[in-house]
Amino acid sequence: MPSPTRILILHTGGTIGMAAAADGYRPLAGFPERLRQRLESSADHPASDYDIVELPPIDSADLRPAHWPAIAKALLAHWDSHAGFVVLHGTDTMAWSASALSFMLRGCAKPVVLTGAQIPLDAAGSDALDNVRGALHFAASPALCEVSIYFGGRLLRGNRSRKLAATRLEAFASPNYPALGEAGNGFVLHDEHLLAAGERRFCVPVYDDQAVAVLTLHPGFPAALVDALVANPRLRGIVLQTYGVGNAPQGDRELMTALERAAARGIVLLNVTQCLYGGISQETYATGSALARLGVVAGGDLTLEAAFAKLHLLLASTDDAAAVRRGMGETWCGEMS
């Protein structure tokens, strides 16, 4: 059995493990061994001992909620034999998976650090080795008892993170919560921003990919889109991305009536802001109060990714819509203020 001081690197796919092909980047065969060679031949070889396990790699744009349990189960299969975990993941949906893992692994007393790369490991100018080395360092930190993302020199809370840059190496940010750590003259961990180890409440449900949808409001939003979504019998929750502090066009009676029909059908409606900074305060304006009267849950300063993942987990765990609404209003693992 591996030593409990070792780190597990779990490769799930993404740009970090790809190579150029005729039709664009594709997964590189033998990536785990190639990564090991590159790490061990680098001037600043990681101090941590580690093992590498690979799941069938996918482009993260192909990720679905049904993939999340496979990642969680792979971590749990090695949970007692390793001190920390690095998950290599594609950047496009990394924040979504980090949020999902944070809710499935509530109360984890070990570090789980997601990372990846904007440029493949073997390509010129790659950021892969720097990101993996930093992730390995923080994954060996016993004080880190949560799911995080290390990328571009910063350690961020996973369920507070968003990908904000398509190509920049500093691709991720945490708009409403300070960084947990960073690289500079060495690695620094900000203890005052960390979660304390809580009660272990691991939950890995079976997800229905079609249970949750996202609607981003825009001027002239057609009510027919709400009705089209609600016509799907598998739909059980909608994340509404509204304006500002949670405002919607209350003067559009067709839209408000369509949302009312969705609520009457038992669909859980969750309100999050389109803004990067701040959160929902539905009672501030009459336009937000109109949603509150429909039973729309105010999502505070949840990111879209965290809102989507948490709503999915709750709907996969219970058929009680009232319990889902209550759960969305609770802070589980630092996901909202």
Residues with a catalytic annotation lie at 15
Strand partners, 116: none
Element (H, E) at 186: strand 186-189
Amino acid identity, position 237? G
Pull the structure tokens for residue 284: 């501030």
Pairing state of beta strands 212-216 and 237-242?
parallel
Q: How far is CA 318 from CA 21, 236, 256, 322, in A?
A: 44, 11, 27, 10
Nearest to 306 by CA among 164, 108, 174: 174
Residues 6+ apart with CB under 8 A from 35: 9, 11, 17, 52, 121, 132
Amino acid identity, position 5? T
- Gap between the Cα atoms of 124 and 132, Å rounded: 16
Residue labelled with tokens 């009705």: 227
Residues 6+ apart with CB under 8 A from 192: none
Tell me if 176 sits within 8 A of 277, measured CB to CB. yes
Q: How far is CA 197 from CA 105, 147, 176, 221, in A?
A: 11, 12, 22, 44
Residue labelled with tokens 């949302």: 259
Residue labelled with tokens 């105010």: 298
Pairing state of beta strands 154-157 and 181-184?
antiparallel
